[in-house]
Amino acid sequence: MNVGIIGAGRIGQLHAQNIMCMYNVHIRSIADPYMTTETSEWANSIGIPNILLDYKTILEDKAIDAVLICSSTDTHAHISLEAIAANKHVFCEKPIDHDLKKIRQVLCALEKSPVKYQVGFQRRFDHNFRAVRQAVEQGCIGNMYMVKITSRDPTPPPIPYIKVSGGLFLDMMIHDFDMVRYLSGADVVEIYANAANLVDPAIGAAGDVDTAVVTLRLNNGAIGLIDNCRHAAFGHDQRAEVLGSKGAIQSFNDKASTAVLSDEHGEHAEKPLLFFLQRYMQAYRNEVLSFIRAIEADTEPEITANDGLQSVLIGLAAKKSLQEHRPVKIEEIDKLGG
């Protein structure tokens, strides 16, 4: 299978490195209008034959079966539409867009197209969260009462990134909205958000929050709870728990080792892995493998464009809830989106 990568930034390079280790997938081209000499040399060094400025060259290349859209968020929807029209299978990094109309245009185009479309929510492919999901699916926790997710970053992103990110709910908590849906197998019907600017005043000045808690009502009757913070002094804090009538299942942080040193001062263990690039390295590989398998086997990708839409709907509802200090139904946002 031949693929093209659109966007040669942080996540584009990560996917390219991973695909280079897959025996049945070949990266034919990579495109980025801001390709630097350094990036071009890197692409050359890992053996990508065509290093381009314009992604349209990838879409016009009949030898390319699939594209990975790894460019800035504001380009995802229109490149998705062009890729679908060019009959390329699409792996699109999250989010598809922040604008519901644009996301719906993508869903509409997919209805009339045979191409596969997967959204990049790599946490669904993390070994810990997958184990939680499997236990829930097998009925091990009984009737679901509660889903709890803790997701904290070691450090906030740069302020210029915060300004264009869409805010904490659409940039960071969007992963957790998808995780609640994945772990519970249910949809979110209502959200109530509370948030503050405690980590860095510059984040507040940029119009965003850095610390947030939301409660959710799910359509299976269970309650969801997510906490996010842009700063955790000890590393990337990524944990989940599902509680039900038969018991609970929890997942903990991954560490470089499980060794614990005990001495007269106490017990000393490793911190969680630093950040998402460390914690989710295998998950990033697995999500692309899953996309490739869906193309080869002609099956529905594990994460669909509708999953991409749902997470944005919940994110927009969270923003509205915070602004208006009230619980917001997802339906209310869905109707507004046209």
Site for ligand NAD (CB under 6 A): which residue of 29, 43, 59, 73? 73
By CB under 6 A, tell whether 10 contacts ligand NAD.
Answer: yes
Query: Looking at beta carbons, which residue is closest to ligand NAD?
Result: 9
Of 4-12, 81-89, 109-117, 319-327, which part binds ligand NAD (CB under 6 A)?
4-12
263 Cβ neighbours under 8 A, 6+ residues apart? none
Q: What ranges in the chain are assigned the alpha helix state H? A: 10-20, 37-45, 55-60, 76-85, 100-111, 127-137, 159-164, 168-171, 173-184, 201-205, 276-279, 281-297, 305-324, 330-336
**Which lies closer to ligand NAD via its Cβ, residue 50 or residue 215?**
50
The least CB distance from residue 162 to ligand NAD, in Å, is 13
Distance between CA atoms of residues 144 and 272, nearest Å: 28
By CB under 6 A, tell whether 70 contacts ligand NAD.
Answer: yes
Site string for ligand NAD, 194-233 (x = CB under 6 A): ----------------------------------------
By CB under 6 A, tell whether 157 contacts ligand NAD.
Answer: no
Distance between CA atoms of residues 108 and 163, nearest Å: 30
Of 6-14, 179-187, 215-223, 315-323, which part binds ligand NAD (CB under 6 A)?
6-14
Site for ligand NAD (CB under 6 A): which residue of 242, 276, 290, 302? 276
Q: How many residues in the shown chain lie near ligand NAD by CB under 6 A?
A: 22
Report the DSSP pairing between strands 66-69 and 2-6: parallel
3-state SS class at 77: helix
Q: Tokens for 68?
A: 């990975």
**Which lies closer to ligand NAD via its Cβ, residue 55 or residue 169?**
55
Chain residues 99-138 in contact with ligand NAD, contact rule CB under 6 A: 120, 122
Residues interacting with ligand NAD, by CB under 6 A? 6-12, 31-34, 55, 70-73, 75, 93-94, 120, 122, 276
